[in-house]
Chains A and B, each alone.
Chain A
Amino acid sequence: MRPVALVTLALVALAFPWAAEALGQSFYVSFASRLMIYAIAATSLNLVLGYGGMISFGHAAFVGTGAYVASIALVEGLASAWMAWPLAVIAAALAAWAIGAMSLRTRGVYFIMITLAFAQMAYYLVNSMKAYGGDEGLTLAHRAQIGLGLDTASEPVFYYVVLAFLALVLILLHRLSGARFGRVIAAIRDNETRAEAIGFPTFRYKLACFVIGGAVAGLAGALLASHGRYVNPGVLHWTQSGTLMIMVILGGVGRLWGGVIGAFVLLTLEHVVADYPMPWLSALAPNYQQHSALAVGIVLLAIVLFAPHGLAGLLARKGHARP
């Protein structure tokens, strides 16, 4: 991205809560936080799926692990985000390590299926955790506190916390992709057999990539739980994995901004379809507001057909994906 565009984007992001409050649209501060949390989750999947070439259909398991671990920590009295969030990240990384170590021994459609199966197992596991709400979920009394004289209950404060994490994740992804590790996972995505044959222990690099993706997803989960002060097994459902995958495909597989753009477009689209009545569309399809998935489907179809590198590829001056 060009420096001018990057600075403009940063300024807009920094000024947004102030502008929204000034316009009396404070709802959108919270909405933007949710959007950025999904951007973090989608970016973490993009690292695994886009950069690493591992088509994981179980990414919600790591978001869910982070969300549940952070929530349980809060319920059990760990009010500090400095404790709860790192715990969530570590737990999600361990889950990714365990699931990855087994799943990465398979290839292609088997990998897709086994990651899905593990995620569903996690889904049913939290469903049965009666001590922590079972299928009804877990309501939190308050958000995790970061101290420093800042109150995360305030929407603008929480917004800036999430923004800082999103920026950090994007910087890390940018550096990682240009560093040795990023070159190796790109090489494995391109031609795994050859990567092994020039001396790379490919399994180890794939597993490391999978674990990093899982850890970042865990962070997104912890933020998501604090944001809504609520978590339920739905965050681990396979449709959540699907939603993240759709975000990555919409935004751009293997593109730095792919996850961000995908999350932004998908959630905004859902919001607009559900909350803004469009009379002309109602005349055509009376119940369209109950079917926002249809609109998403049509947009996804258009992207896949006309912009195979996603919206990020469309925005870039050069439409060619570099490894």
Chain B
Amino acid sequence: MLVLERVLRRFGGLVATDEVSLEVRAGEVHALIGPNGAGKTTLVNLISGGLAPDAGTIRFDGRDVTRLTQHARVLAGLARSYQVTSIFRGFTVQENLALAVQARTGTSFSFWRPVARERALFDESGSLLADIGLEHKAHALAATLAHGEQRALEVGLALATNPRLLLLDEPMAGMGPEESQQVVALIERVRARVTVLLVEHDMDAVFRLANRISVLVGGRIIATGAPQEIRANAEVRRAYLGDELAA
């Protein structure tokens, strides 16, 4: 579904992603793990279109999207969430989701008809509210939500674009065990209808959810495989997992 071929990105003299090749297959939850500074977020930015690669190609559903703008990739079915919460703080939860629905349903060069009368926008966001567990907060301003709730909305915004591939950049960042559980449950609920590329430090969650795992160290993929293969991989243990699993 998503194929990266020798994708390279430099920041000045630093090579953030060094000829990364990666395949995400339709229907899987593919986890991307690695130590801090390995280039995981850079890779998510390259895939989502927030950054342009210096070399290499990115294909999505067989189509070369390397030069496509971010908003065009979203419409093609490639959506992301952010590691640092990025929501519309001055909008209510429901308005946040309705915006994402609006982005993919028809033109927004409409200057007269009130959005409030577009039932479809709010009906669609209603079912999403249930998915992310924020039904009771539908009319609360996003800025007033608790941290865990904002993280749920963060994922909800990506889901509301109705993606076929969902890029989740550390959805459990800064969450307690209970809140993390809810995100795991959310991913379990949506994995049947959307392919997921999951960047995450929470190894319990990663090994619970992932069909396959890729390990990124120093801008390079050092291994890709099923969870048990990754767990057993000597190089991975040395570079990254050793200290995580020992803890």
The interface of chain A, by Cβ under 8 A from chain B, is: 172, 175-176, 178-184, 186-187, 190-191, 193-202, 205, 208, 321-323
Closest residue of chain B to A205 (Cβ to Cβ) is B108
- Given A187-B88, A199-B74: A180 and B161 within 8 A (CB)? no
A201 to B71, CA, bound (A): 6
Contact partner of A199 (CB less than 8 A), chosen from B82, B103, B118, is B103
Q: Chain B residues with Cβ under 8 A from A200's Cβ?
A: 71, 103, 108
Chain B positions within 8 Å of A186 at CB level: 90-91
19 CB-based A-B contacts, threshold 8 Å: A180-B115, A181-B111, A182-B111, A182-B115, A183-B95, A183-B108, A184-B99, A186-B90, A187-B99, A190-B88, A190-B90, A194-B88, A195-B88, A195-B99, A197-B48, A197-B79, A199-B74, A199-B104, A323-B88
Contact across chains for B90 and A175 when beta carbons are under 8 A apart: no
Scan residues 120-142 of chain B and give those whose CB is less than 8 A from a CB of chain A. none
| Interface residue B31 (Cβ < 8 Å from any Cβ of A) | no
By the criterion CB–CB under 8 Å, are B161 and A187 in contact?
no
Check if A199 sits within 8 Å of B161, measured CB to CB. yes
A175 to B114: give the CA distance in the assembly, Å. Answer: 7
Query: Footprint of A on B, CB under 8 Å?
Result: 48, 50, 69-72, 74-75, 79-80, 82, 86-91, 95, 99-100, 102-104, 107-116, 118, 157-158, 160-161
CA distance A142 to B79 in the complex (A): 59
Q: Which chain A residues lie closer than 8 Å to B157 at the CB level?
A: 194, 198
Q: Known: A194-B157, A198-B100, A199-B100. Is A175-B112 also a contact (CB below 8 A)?
A: yes
Is the pair A176, B111 in contact by a Cβ cutoff of 8 Å? yes
Name the distance in Å between B102's Cβ and chain A's nearest Cβ. 6
- In Å, the complex CA distance between A182 and B114 comes to 9
Known: A178-B116, A199-B75. 7 other contacts (CB 8 A): A179-B112, A180-B107, A180-B115, A180-B118, A183-B115, A191-B87, A198-B160
Q: Nearest-CB distance from A203 to chain B (Å)?
A: 9
Known: A184-B108, A205-B108. A191 touches B100 (CB 8 A): no
Cβ of A180 and Cβ of B102 under 8 Å apart?
A: yes
A198-B161, A199-B161 as given contacts; A193 in contact with B114, CB under 8 Å:
no
CB distance from A206 to the nearest CB of B (A): 13
- B-chain residues with CB within 8 Å of residue A179 when the two chains form the complex: 110-115
> With A187-B91, A191-B86 in contact, is A196–B112 under 8 Å at CB?
no
CB distance from A176 to the nearest CB of B (A): 5
CB nearest neighbor in A for B103: A199
List of 6 A-B pairs having minimum Cβ-Cβ separation, nearest first: A199-B74, A199-B103, A180-B110, A180-B108, A198-B100, A178-B114
Q: Which of A181, A196, A321 contacts B108 (CB 8 A)?
A: A181
Residues of B within 8 A of A183 (CB): 95, 99, 102, 108, 115
User: Taking CB as reference atom, which chain A residue is nearest B142?
Assistant: A190
Shortest Cβ distance from residue B135 to the other chain A in the assembled complex, whole angstroms: 21
Smallest CB separation, A187 vs chain B (Å): 5
| Chain A residues whose CB sits within 8 angstroms of the CB of B88 once the complex forms | 187, 190-191, 194-195, 323
Contact for B71 among A172, A175, A176, A196, CB less than 8 A: A196
**Chain B contacts for A208, CB-based, 8 A:** 109
B87 partner residues in chain A, CB cutoff 8 A = 191, 194
CA distance A172 to B86 in the complex (A): 31
Q: Which residues of A contact B103 (CB under 8 A)?
A: 198-200
Inter-chain contacts of B116 with A (CB < 8 A) = 178
Set of chain B residues within 8 Å of A198, measured between Cβ atoms: 74, 79, 99-100, 103, 157-158, 160-161
Closest Cβ–Cβ distance, residue A178 to chain B (whole Å): 4
Report how far A289 CA is from B73 CA in the complex, Å.
60
Contacts of B118 in A (CB 8 A): 180
A198 (CB) vs chain B CBs: closest residue: B100
Taking CB atoms, residues of chain A closer than 8 Å to B48 are 197
**A201 to B75 Cα, complex, angstroms:** 10
Q: Give Cα A313–Cα B87 distance, bound, in whole angstroms.
A: 25
Query: Do the beta carbons of A193 and B86 come within 8 Å of each other?
Result: yes
Question: A176-B111, A179-B111, A198-B103 in contact; A323/B91 too (CB < 8 A)?
Answer: yes
Alpha-carbon distance A213/B110, docked complex (angstroms): 16
Partner among B50, B95, B114 whose Cβ is within 8 Å of the Cβ of A197 = B50
CA distance A198 to B103 in the complex (A): 7
Q: CB distance A181 to B109 under 8 Å?
A: yes
Q: How far is B118's CA from A181's CA once the two chains are assembled, in angstroms?
A: 13
Chain A residues near B71: list those with CB within 8 A. 196, 199-202
With A187-B99, A191-B88 as given contacts, are A197 and B70 in contact (CB-CB < 8 Å)?
yes
A176 to B110, CA, bound (A): 8
Expressed in whole angstroms, the minimum distance between the Cβ of B165 and any Cβ of chain A is 14
Which chain A residues lie closer than 8 Å to B109 at the CB level? 180-181, 208
> Residues of B contacting A322 with CB < 8 Å?
90
- Residue of B with least CB distance to A202: B71
With beta carbons under 8 angstroms apart, the residue of A180, A195, A202 that contacts B113 is: A180
Q: Which B residues lie within 8 Å of A194 (CB)?
A: 82, 86-88, 157
B75 contacts across to A, CB distance below 8 A: 199
Min Cβ gap A82→B in Å is 23
List A contacts of B69 (CB < 8 A).
201
